[in-house]
Structure 1
Amino acid sequence: MINLEIPQKLGQVQQMAQQLASTVFRPISRKYDAIEHGDTPQELKPVAQMMAAMPRGEGKKGAGDDGAIRNGSNMTGILAVEAMCWGDVGLMLSIPGSGLGNAAIMAVGSPEQKAQYGKLYCAMAITEPGAGSDSAAVSTTAQLDGDEWVLNGEKIYCTAGQRCDAIVVWATLDKSLGKAAIKSFIVPRDTPGLTLVRVEDKMGLRISDTAALAFNDCRIPRDHLLGSEEVGDTEEARKKAFGGVMQTFDNTRPQVAAMALGVARAALEITRELHEKEGVKADFSKLPYNSSARELALYRMEADLEAARLMTLKAAWMADNGQPNSKEASMCKAKAGRMGNDVTLQCVALCGELGYSEQTLLEKLARDSKIIDIFEGTQQIQQLIVARHLLGLSSRELK
């Protein structure tokens, strides 16, 4: 059973992340929201060094023969990400060494790959002009030529694609085999044949760079493949291939949910403070039918935030204890993504002109929240994944 008390060791991590958010991120949040396509903020470079020295959980694959409950790297990441995103999501995503590709390498990489690339700043390139939410439809190709893989194709919406040290690229070995032939490859950022096409202008997360990339006869060593080279058209082969690279999302989707938790908590705290100045305080001492409409709205948002938080903690706890959590990872990402967007927009509305203007951070939090409900799999895709698990149907049977 999940223990809802945060262990002292992880509580220290949470406190450090919260202090970082309040003393570093919040003061520069507006400054970097107005700067797009700039270099990595100088303020984040010492942060990267500090985070490398932060204590981490055990990251055990299972609870062990002793039955002990583990709180490892996944739970640690949830607590830290939520606290930092209370400060600023875009700045959190811009910390060197915190890319989505790092999670992929640590999830399915070999010991040698983890040692070489695990501590670098690694992005992830999945989405293509013709392959968005359907990750299995990628058309970027990888062909083996001697001891090298040759990549050709185009990727879009790659977070940190401009500033990263390396990119984990999804490509197919044989388009006719569908999911069974999809693999992921580590491509160093300075590899010949890899071109930065453009950096996108965005509504939110403006300081976090989002890039379009092109691969033209891009050659990488054979050992830069993550996982096995095996390709086959059997169900078992598909699980080993596509299922292997999809394991990354079981760890990262709860962290994306944690981003929404941080953004929503920040918006709700600002809204409560503004309302308390006007004599409206949601103290939970009144029954709903004795509360004002504004108090009731605050109660409901608090409940929605808490529900998403508990679902996210459970998904992370399951990962740390070696329990399959694909359903729970998608559930918490869907719930938190929708909650974050709903709460921030409601907070803007409840605070009127103060919410809509730049006098507070509410309008920025609302802009930042939208992408959290989209990237790492849209709301609709998460619900589809959950439906497959609940109904016991495969992706072929339920599309």
Structure 2
Amino acid sequence: MISFEMTDQQKQVKELVHWFAKTEMRPLSLPSDKAGVVPMEWLNKVNAMGISLSTSVVGGDSRKKSSDGGAADDPETTRQTNRLGVIASEEMGWGDAAIALSLPGPGLGGPPVQTSGTPEQKQRFLGMFKKDKARWGAYALTEPGAGSDVSGIRTTARKVDGGYLLNGQKVFITNGGRASWVVAFATIDPSLGRAGHRAFVVEQGTPGFTCTRLSHKMGMRASETAELLFEDCFVPDENLLGGESYYAAKASGPSGFRVAMATFDTTRPMVAAMAIGIARAAYEYTLDYVREEYPKAGRSFQIACEKLANMKTDIEAARLLTWEAAWMSDAGKPNTKEAAMCKAYAGKAALSICAQCLELLGPVGLEGHLVEKLYRDVKVYDIFEGTNQIQHLIIARRLYEREGLRI
């Protein structure tokens, strides 16, 4: 049964990451948002410190081996990898979510390599993330015509001698422009539907693979978001994630679609935790403001107290849903429904909390203020990794799967 009491190790991780978020991330928050980029010298510094939002610290599959393909060193740490991940992710979100996504490391590309890659692929693609140089990985799934509906991807992978030729476009790819490699999803035959999906690791510098644009966004401005183009991009067989043997001959066997969905089961709790961190940052600032600036009597103070109480309740509820989803993953239990539930609830609650905080701050929270930035940043947490509507659809499907109903 899940324990709501943190272990000593979890407390230490929380304290360490909170210290880093407070002393290193928060001072850069507003300047990086204004500049639209995190300073490279700072990224190199934290990379040398060994701090990253990666599978080695956040997320990954605790049921698998370590990133180098060998046995994990610490069985206790391995059993709580995802729980540690969501604890750290919340503190990162509290510090600055855009900066957190900019930290060197495999990023969202890490989990599919960790869970589906061969030992050689894990060593090759995850082993490169060392302190000597800042490097990034990326996860390329979304397309102009296929966002939350992953089954609709149209990037193609045509088999040729020694590999595949990829053709298509990917959009909204975090760190896609500077990534050493991206996990790109494509279909070998659109008529096969999900069974035709495959996942490839495409390395930077591969002919036919280019970054065509860096997006300018309402929020998360310091986080790099790229559009990628594949034009007869040759990817060798050894870069097919999992290898040819991973994909069963029968349509019911493994596919790139399953790789993508397994990744979401791991990453959605992390995304939910970051949304909680953003909401907590806005709530804490507003709570202090109300304590110091609001008159301690009158209707306005009563309304503020009621709103703050509801915010605190939503933060705690979202955190418990997120911890449950992470605990299930660590325990080897299917958590698709729980991952969708925490993502849907946390994203919606965090957006509402930040909006209410702006209302309570009034003119103080206008442009250039921390809470105004948090409000712009948090909106995407109701969208990426699957929109709120898609999360509800996933939950409904799990509720009715015993009845055999297709929703």
Fold conserved between structures, TM > 0.5: yes
Task: Give 1:304 shift.
Answer: 0.5
Cα distance change, pair 344–147 in 1 and its aligned pair in 2 (3 A):
same
Instruction: Give the corresponding residue for 2:44.
Output: 45
Task: Give 1:98 shift.
Answer: 4.5
The CA distance in 2 between the partners of 1:390 and 1:51, in whole Å, is: 42
CA contact (8 A) 1:155 1:212 kept: yes
The CA distance in 2 between the partners of 1:69 and 1:390, in whole Å, is: 32
Q: How does 1:62-73 map to 2 (within 5 A)?
A: 71-73=79-81
Residue 261 of structure 2, aligned match among 246, 257, 269: 246
Q: Give the letter for the 1:35 counterpart.
A: A
The CA distance in 2 between the partners of 1:386 and 1:361, in whole Å, is: 34
Task: Give 1:44 shift.
Answer: 2.2
Q: How does 1:1-399 map to 2 (within 5 A)?
A: 1-36=1-36, 38=37, 41-51=40-50, 60-61=62-63, 71-118=79-126, 119=129, 121-227=136-242, 229=244, 230=247, 234=251, 236-237=252-253, 240-279=255-294, 292-358=302-368, 360-392=369-401, 397-398=406-407
The CA distance in 2 between the partners of 1:165 and 1:342, in whole Å, is: 37
The CA distance in 1 between the partners of 2:110 and 2:57, in whole Å, is: 15
Q: Is there any run of 5+ residues in structure 2 with no aligned partner, and where?
A: 65-75, 130-134
Q: Give the letter for the 1:375 counterpart.
A: F
CA contact (8 A) 2:32 2:39 kept: no
CA contact (8 A) 1:181 1:232 kept: no
Task: Give 1:111 shift.
Answer: 1.4
Q: Identity of counterpart residues, as a percentage? A: 42
CA displacement 1:49-93 (0-9 Å, x = unmatched) = 33459985996429xxxxx99742211111111101111100000
CA contact (8 A) 1:13 1:76 kept: yes
Q: Give the letter for the 2:31 counterpart.
A: K
The CA distance in 2 between the partners of 1:138 and 1:253, in whole Å, is: 20
CA contact (8 A) 2:202 2:239 kept: yes
Q: Give the letter for the 2:242 counterpart.
A: G
The CA distance in 2 between the partners of 1:384 and 1:266, in whole Å, is: 30
The CA distance in 2 between the partners of 1:39 and 1:209, in whole Å, is: 9
The CA distance in 2 between the partners of 1:302 and 1:71, in whole Å, is: 29
Structure 1 residue runs of 4 or more that deviate by more than 6 Å after TM superposition: 393-396
Task: Give 1:121 shift.
Answer: 1.8
The CA distance in 1 between the partners of 2:348 and 2:98, in whole Å, is: 19
How many residue pairs match? The answer is: 381
The CA distance in 2 between the partners of 1:240 and 1:311, in whole Å, is: 29
Over the aligned positions, Cα root-mean-square deviation in angstroms equals 2.5
Cα distance change, pair 393–353 in 1 and its aligned pair in 2 (3 A):
farther
The CA distance in 1 between the partners of 2:118 and 2:293, in whole Å, is: 57
CA contact (8 A) 2:150 2:257 kept: no
Instruction: Give the corresponding residue for 2:73.
Output: none
Task: Give 1:48 shift.
Answer: 2.5
CA contact (8 A) 2:199 2:256 kept: no
Task: Give 1:41 shift.
Answer: 3.2
Q: Normalising by structure 2, report the TM-score.
A: 0.88
Q: Is there any run of 5+ residues in structure 1 with no aligned partner, and where?
A: 63-67, 282-288
Q: Give the letter for the 1:85 counterpart.
A: G
CA contact (8 A) 1:280 1:295 kept: no
SS in 2 for 1:143: strand
Q: Give the letter for the 1:363 counterpart.
A: E
Task: Give 1:242 shift.
Answer: 2.1
The CA distance in 1 between the partners of 2:179 and 2:389, in whole Å, is: 29
Cα distance change, pair 7–371 in 1 and its aligned pair in 2 (3 A):
same
The CA distance in 2 between the partners of 1:330 and 1:24, in whole Å, is: 31
CA displacement 1:182-214 (0-9 Å, x = unmatched) = 111100121111011111110011011111111
Cα distance change, pair 326–193 in 1 and its aligned pair in 2 (3 A):
same
Q: Give the letter for the 1:100 counterpart.
A: L
Q: Normalising by structure 1, report the TM-score.
A: 0.89
CA contact (8 A) 1:268 1:343 kept: yes
CA displacement 1:192-240 (0-9 Å, x = unmatched) = 1101111111001101111111101111220111135436664x23x55
Cα distance change, pair 321–155 in 1 and its aligned pair in 2 (3 A):
same
Task: Give 1:320 shift.
Answer: 0.7
CA contact (8 A) 1:40 1:163 kept: no
Q: Give the letter for the 1:101 counterpart.
A: G
Cα distance change, pair 60–130 in 1 and its aligned pair in 2 (3 A):
closer
CA contact (8 A) 2:112 2:259 kept: no
